[in-house]
Amino acid sequence: MSDQNESFDLNVLREMFKSEAYELLGELENALLALEESPRDKDVISRVFRALHTIKGSGGACGFDTISHFAHEVETVYDAIRNDKLAVSREIIDLTLAARDQIAALFDEFYQKKHAESERTEQLISGFRGLLPEGAGARGKRPSPLAVSSAVDEQRQATYRIRFRPARTIFQTGTDPQKLLDELRSLGSCRVVAQLGDIPPLDTLDPEICYVSWDVILTTKRGLNAIRDVFIFVQDSSEIVIEPIEMEGDLTEDEEYKKLGEILVARGDLSPADVQNISSEQKRFGEIVVEKGLADNDRVEAALTEQQHVRELRREQKKSAEMMSIRVQSGKLDKLVDLVGELVTVQARLTQVATAGTSAVLLSIAEEVERLTAELRDNTMSIRMLPIGTIFTKFKRVVRDLSQSLGKSVELIMDGEDTELDKSVIEKLHDPLIHLIRNGIDHGIEMPAVRESLGKPRHGTIALSAVHSGAHVLIRIEDDGAGMNVAAIRRKGIEKGLISPDAELPEKDLFTLIFAPGFSTAKEVSDVSGRGVGMDVVKQAIEALRGTIEISSRRGEGTVITLSLPLTLAIIDGFLTKIGGDHFVFPLSLVDECVELSASAAKAGRRDLLNVRGEIVPYIRLRDRFAVKGDRPAIEQVVITKIDNARVGFVVDHVVGGHQTVIKNLGKMYRGVEGISGATILGDGSVALILDVPKLIQTVERDETKA
């Protein structure tokens, strides 16, 4: 029975460790790519070491003994690097990235039931052991618990009390004490109090003598050795006392710190007997100490500074502990969003009933429920929002590996990683973005020699950025390569029968041809691209997310691909309208204004135009577009939308107003209907269709071109 419980507990631990395991692998990969750019950066080396150390320790605790042993072998190499016994090289980076992939494969073997090549692990271990110089680390032997503890403690935050009394002749040696204090400040949170009690009267003061000493309170993760290094050139001639007074993890629940008297005793500025004698008096402790000449004002101020510093530190750490996060399975989160969506629908029904009735009490309750439902909706949706940087960082490895395999030098520049997007959107963005980046490197970025001959830098750049735009996020993939060959695209389009030989299309429309299935202008088929498979899938994936994709390119300068995606796929603010007996919803973020269809409306060819305060706005009759039967009302309404700074109107019978819209996917039979992105259920149980405004406009423009 105990064996069964032990097995159960281990499985529970492994399941709890799952998310952390893959996060650690992501951190390890990012740290390795950063280390490749800055191979001497001690902080980055420590990041790699910490990730490996955590994988080893936590993996061993969860019973992943093979992974724990493998991670230890890799960690041993980085321990040698940390101790300056080995230098970071391309070989080490390549080998560690391969080790990271193998650890991921070993985790996948358990979590996703994928097969992992066990012999690959042994090959990599042999490679790492071959890198170690003689005497650097105990090969194959686990470190002692004390060694592991020391490695971890180096990263713990600690607060130190530092007393620095420089030699009086320090100025004569060319040393500036202020610069030493600035170095201390660079190590962490630091407060400095100058002790001025030894400064003589002005008529006896020697400007070449240093009369000042300093008391410092420093909170840092750099450790005791880093502090000692600051004073390495003055330690023999100066009085330097460094005492740790607080260690992260050892804090009590009490935010308070020692009393002023206790601090002065600890500093050696008062005796316990002095404190005992003063305690019985009624005045403030510090005032009495100064009045009796037991310590000068500067020493009391230093003690008060220490007291305040530690109190604030404890307060911040207590607040941090109270803001702990928990991991929730995504399935539970999706269920919560579904329930909130149902609640929004019921709330709309309640509001409709209350508005139609005569009960003021019921109407008041309905308004309160509407307010609470909106707040619950916003909070629930915010839980699903994740920074897009969670997938941006994964592309560093893609760019590195692909540029190396193609013999190109490419740098990935990222901006807007903190831009938040719905979790479900982010999950479906990974593959389309990878394909666009791979295309940019393969088709766009030229070979280093070619770039140099064109007067460009030898290394190319792929810029990946994200920014909020209303209820949408704009993602740009930009390269500084050769740009698109418009003539080649046109020839290929004619060859595949996509356009007629005499068609005069603007560049913007020609660029969209690359999204046709099987379309490729590549002269050779490679492992990366050239078969014409991919860009059509990218477009389908973006459209499935109710997004749009646009291309702009200049020959010889590069290409910019812009994706416009909704913040969420679950609940949006909508604008409800009615045509005949049917309801239609516009995404509120696209609605600019509403006007009546006036008699000034006119036609220009096949296009309907409306004069809105001197501006000519084209409009589309949705009644005609969707073949809605029945008579038109005497006064029709025009909902004017704005997309990419272009305004287009849509004629409807009636405007109902704002509506919280829970998006429901259409069935397979209706997925091909252009201009409709989904449906929602209204308060009375009827269905309203959600309009895909950009697609509607594209469809109308295409039909006008064909006519």
Copy the structure tokens of residue 608. 């309907």
52-59, Cβ contacts within 8 angstroms, sequence gap of 24 or more: 52/28, 52/78, 53/148, 53/151, 53/152, 54/24, 55/21, 55/24, 55/25, 55/28, 55/103, 57/148, 58/17, 58/20, 58/21, 58/24, 59/17, 59/21
pLDDT of residue 224: 82
- Residue 67 CB-density burial (10 A; 0-12 exposed, 13-18 middle, 19+ buried): buried
Secondary element (H or E) of residue 74: helix 65-82
Quote the CA–CA distance of 436 and 460 in Å, as a whole number: 15
pLDDT tens, position by position, 67-94: 988 998 998 899 888 888 888 998 999 9
Is residue 260 within 8 A of residue 285, CB to CB? The reply is yes
**Would the pLDDT of 100 be above 50?**
yes
pLDDT-derived band at 195, boundaries 50, 70, 90: confident
Q: What is the CA 356 to chain-centroid distance, rounded?
A: 47
581-594: average pLDDT: 88
pLDDT of residue 546: 74
Contacts of residue 695, Cβ cutoff 8 Å, sequence gap at least 6: 543, 674, 675, 677
Region of 350 on the Ramachandran plot (φ > 0 left; ψ -120 to 50 alpha; else beta): alpha
Quote the CA–CA distance of 58 and 72 in Å, as a whole number: 12
Quote the CA–CA distance of 542 and 218 in Å, as a whole number: 51
Give the angle 689-386-56 at the CA atoms, nearest 5°.
Answer: 140
Phi and psi, residue 18, nearest 5°: -55, -55
pLDDT-derived band at 447, boundaries 50, 70, 90: very high
* Domains of the chain, first to last: 2-153 (1.20.120.160), 158-322 (3.30.70.1110), 330-386 (1.10.287), 388-566 (3.30.565.10), 571-706 (2.40.50.180)
Range in 80-84, 390-394, 602-606 the model is least confident about: 602-606
pLDDT tens, position by position, 332-386: 888 888 888 888 888 888 888 888 888 889 999 999 998 998 888 888 888 878 8
pLDDT of residue 95: 92
Quote the CA–CA distance of 264 and 276 in Å, as a whole number: 13
181-200: average pLDDT: 86
Range in 214-228, 456-470, 610-624, 673-687 the model is least confident about: 673-687
Secondary element (H or E) of residue 213: strand 213-220
**Would the pLDDT of 168 be above 80?**
yes
Closest C-alpha among 43, 285, 299, 317 to residue 159: 317
pLDDT of residue 525: 47
DSSP 606: T
For the ranges 56-65, 551-560, 599-608, the maximum mean pLDDT occurs at 551-560
Secondary element (H or E) of residue 72: helix 65-82
Length of the chain: 707
173-185: average pLDDT: 86
pLDDT tens, position by position, 640-685: 998 767 889 999 999 988 877 777 777 667 766 778 878 888 877 7
Range in 393-402, 547-556, 663-672 the model is least confident about: 663-672
Secondary element (H or E) of residue 620: strand 615-621
| Mean pLDDT score of the chain | 80
CB atoms within 10 A of CB 347: 21
610-620: average pLDDT: 87
**Would the pLDDT of 137 be above 70?**
no
% of the chain with per-residue pLDDT over 70:
82
The amino acid sitting at 533 is V
Secondary element (H or E) of residue 699: helix 693-706
pLDDT tens, position by position, 491-545: 888 888 878 887 777 777 788 888 877 776 655 545 455 434 468 888 888 877 8
